[in-house]
């Protein structure tokens, strides 16, 4: 009880906050986001065989729950995604499927969403794929949908993901304790990051520079 008595309420860091309009949602059918050879299209059942071939690696699913066991499993996962509020994208490099990522936890009225359920083929880890995808998704979220907040979360045990999210320019907000069940039924602590609309111009410049440098090297 002594510890509780020392708690000091957090003050409002935005006392002059202005009204913010509701966001534009959903993503229009047929939307394709593209930069260079990297493209994101709304995932379809027809993508299932390529997604399975690209992502059927143990390392890909170490910290992500819901590994499909077959192309049919991918079809089922994609069909179920809208029912749980997830909008999945198929990630391609030069036309070849190399991963998937999603919008989730979407609240248009609050003008916020999350980018998550992101898995890439090991062959593109550490390349421009992740910064390019985050650039495209956040650009759509902030500039087309008029979101005020984009958040990203990861397992506290996934140090590689934490470093990658921080490198994007997202701000660390804290740890959500015993937040989400893993595939092995343990319940993970989740590390939370975010980017706000007023931070986006600076974050965008950093991502554009990283992507341009990566493309120049290729």
Determine the Cα–Cα distance for residues 20 and 23; give it in Å rounded to an integer. 9
What domains can be seen in the chain, in order of their start residue?
30-217 (3.40.630.30)
Q: How far apart are CA 177 and CA 98, in angstroms?
A: 32
Residue 31: partners with Cβ closer than 8 Å, 6 or more residues away: 41, 42, 140
Residue whose structure tokens are 């083929």: 121
The tens digit of pLDDT for each residue in 170-197 reads 999 999 999 999 999 999 999 999 999 9
pLDDT band at 2 (very low <50, low <70, confident <90, very high): low
pLDDT for 61 beyond 70: yes
CA distance 18 to 27: 26
Band (pLDDT 50/70/90 cuts) for residue 217 is confident
């Amino acid at each position: 009880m002594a510890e509780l008595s020392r708690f000091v309420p957090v003050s409002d860091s935005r006392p002059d906050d202005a009204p913010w309009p509701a966001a534009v949602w959903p993503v229009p059918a047929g939307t394709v986001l593209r930069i260079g050879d990297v493209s994101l299209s709304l995932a379809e059942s027809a993508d299932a065989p390529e997604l399975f071939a690209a992502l059927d690696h143990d390392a890909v699913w170490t910290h992500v729950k819901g590994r499909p066991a077959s192309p049919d499993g991918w079809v089922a996962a994609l069909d179920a995604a809208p029912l749980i509020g997830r909008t999945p994208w198929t990630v391609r490099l030069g036309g070849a499927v190399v991963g998937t990522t999603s919008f989730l936890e979407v609240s248009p009225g609050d003008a916020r969403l999350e980018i998550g359920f992101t898995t890439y083929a090991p062959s593109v880890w550490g390349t421009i794929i992740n910064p390019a995808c985050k650039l495209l998704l956040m650009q759509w979220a902030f500039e087309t949908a008029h979101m005020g907040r984009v958040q990203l979360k990861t397992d506290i045990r996934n140090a590689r993901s934490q470093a990658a999210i921080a490198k994007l320019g997202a701000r660390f907000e804290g740890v959500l304790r015993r937040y989400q069940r893993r595939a092995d039924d343990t319940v993970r602590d989740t590390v939370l990051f975010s980017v706000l609309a007023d931070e986006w111009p600076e974050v965008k410049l950093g991502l554009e520079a990283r992507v341009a440098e990566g493309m120049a090297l290729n």
